[in-house]
Structures are given as C-alpha cells and as structure tokens.
Amino acid sequence: MQNYVETEPHSHKLPVFFMGRWIEKELDDVQTMYTTNLGTQILFKTSQTKQIELNFIRTLPNGSTNQTLSIDIDHSKSLVELSNQKLSISLPDSSNHIVKITFAGNTDADQVWTEQAGLAIESINNTKGTITAIKPIGKTIAFIGDSITAGCWVRSKSPSSGYGADINYAARTAEHFDAIDYRIAYSAAGILRYGAGGVPAASRFLNYIDIDTLSPAVEADLVIVNLGTNDRKFDDATFTAFFKQFLNEVQNKFQGSKIAVLIPFNPAFANAITSLISNDFSNEIHLIKTSHWHVQTTDGTHPNKVGSIHAAHNLITAIKKMNLI
C-alpha cells in the first residue's frame, strides 16, 4: 500500500500530479499532457465529490484496439477501455478518496513514434468538491527497458487489455519503496533492435518520446536498465559495443544517480553483460543477476501476474541488499 504527500498541481485544467514521462503537447489545436510510455500515471485525491470526468484527445485511427487504463480508487483496481474522449469515474461516496490512473495497455500496432498515437489528456473536471494533486513520498526510480518493463502481456495474450503496466515488476517495485515510477520502455525495442510502433533503439528513445519531441528533464535516485531480450539475433561482440555506449549515455543523462543493470530474464547476453560491467563499470554500475529468479511467463518471455510478483520480490531484495535506495 503506497503512501502519498500533497504536491503542486500541473494546472487549473489538470489539478493532478503526472508521474512518469509526460510532456505538454498540442494535438488537434488543443493543449494536452501527452505520453507514449505505458506505466505513466495520474495521481490525485478527492473530497466532497462523487464524480470525476476526464477529457482525452482521440489519438488512434478508427477501428483500432482501444488503449487500456487502470483505475485505482483507494487501492482497488479496475480496467477501463478508453473507447471515447470522455471518461467518467464514479467514486463510492463523497468522502476522501485516493485515485491513481495508469496507462496500462496499448498495442504494438499503435504508431506512437511517428503518428502521435500515445495517450493525451486535455482536462479533468469535478462538479463539486475538490481535487488535490498527490505524489508518492519516496524517491524516484527510472526503469529503462522493453515490453517486459513496459508491462506487456502480464494479464493475458489479449492486446492492450491483457497488458499490465500497473501490476508488472516495475510498478510493484516502485510501490514497495513509495517511489516515483518513471518508465522509459517500449515493446520489442532493444539496444540495437527497433521496437514496435516505429520506436527506434534505446539510445534514441532514451532522450525522445517520439520522432521529434525531446523527453522532459528528469532526475532519478536509482536507474534500472533491463535490455537485451530483443537483441538476440546480434552477436556478443556487437551487442557489447553498443551496450557499453548506451550505458555511457545513461550515466551522462542521470549524473549522480545510482545505476543498476539487470541480466535479462531469458537470459540474453548474460556472460557478455556480466563481463562488461565487471571490466568497464565495476565501480560505477551495479549488476543484478536473475538466473535464480525462475520467473513465470505468459508466453515464454513476458512475466505473467505471478511472475511479476516474483520478479518484483527478487528485485526489491537485491535493491535492499545492495543499498541502492
């Protein structure tokens, strides 16, 4: 169960805290808060109101599979398909409530990089009472990865609705530490391999949220890198050279942050990554081995609900043991 503190709201139209990689972006001549990253969240508490209305901008072509939101009211979750531009949330009563809305699922077909097919919210309204922005009381953890870190296929093999960015290993780890969850992850992407939805390889998506939009500045207390699963067609030497370059970029972007690298769960490039960290980053980057985790999966690659719980437990244990946060 996560603990929160009141914080400054984003604006009068959006009196909430946006957690993760959101940015102000104009779409269809409307100013929005926009993201291409699963796991981003909208956090607020309510008082003396029973109804909240959120207004989104439709970013997907007609006939596309709807994006999925996880609505968490007082730590009780439900999933909603975003089928139109307005979403009404009914609260149990008009007493105080904590609301957390997570961008939980999309599909690989969503052209998030080249066609602005991310999630865009225009306004949040309540007819009476108050909305107050809140944020987790802890530090910031930045998770950099692929579909596993984004939260794909956690619930089932159903596009969008089967995803679980709200309950995957990254979400559970951040919740345990009362941390701000800052997700930088895209399906099918890798150190060398391009991802789904037109997403480029990691060195590019580290600093951009789409083809022409720089990512916002961020400071993190801990950075966790989980990449390599999708790069298996490349040889060790090629992967190692590009991974070394990428880790140098991460160090430059997150100066002063602690950095840890996970051996991929599959475990791709385990020997190459271990050797690289030991030889080139031994006093700078922490290595977290995962061969003993035995993570259950939905499809042989992506952790399912049980696997996500187990992976989070092991990662939390490693973070504590290594005193990373």
Helix axes 236-253, 270-280, angle to 10 degrees: 50
Q: Are 167 and 75 in contact (CB under 8 A)?
A: no
Question: What pTM does this model have?
Answer: 0.97
* Number of neighbouring beta carbons within 10 Å of residue 55: 16
Looking at residue 243, its pLDDT comes to 98
Going from the C-alpha of 10 to that of each of 41, 48, 122, the distances in angstroms are: 13, 21, 12
Residue 13: what pLDDT?
Answer: 94
In order of their start, the domains of the chain are 4-136 (2.60.120.260), 140-321 (3.40.50.1110)
Q: Are the CB atoms for 187 and 152 separated by under 8 Å?
A: yes
229 with 299: CB under 8 angstroms? no
pLDDT value of residue 1:
59
pLDDT at residue number 25: 96
What is the CA 279 to chain-centroid distance, rounded?
30
Per-residue model confidence as pLDDT tens for the chain (325 residues): 589 999 999 999 999 999 999 999 999 899 999 999 999 999 999 999 999 999 999 999 999 999 999 999 999 999 999 998 999 999 999 999 999 999 999 999 999 999 999 999 999 999 899 999 999 999 999 999 999 999 999 999 999 999 999 999 999 999 999 999 999 999 999 999 999 999 999 999 999 999 999 999 999 999 999 999 999 999 999 999 999 999 999 999 999 999 999 999 999 999 999 999 999 999 999 999 999 999 999 999 999 999 999 999 999 999 999 999 9
pLDDT at 196: 96
Model pLDDT, residue 2 = 80
The burial of 204, by beta-carbon neighbours within 10 Å (0-12 exposed, 13-18 middle, 19 or more buried), is given as: middle
Strand-pair partners of 86: 55
DSSP track, 236-293: HHHHHHHHHHHHHHHHHHTTT-EEEEEPPSS-TTHHHHHHHHHHHSTTTEEEE--TTT
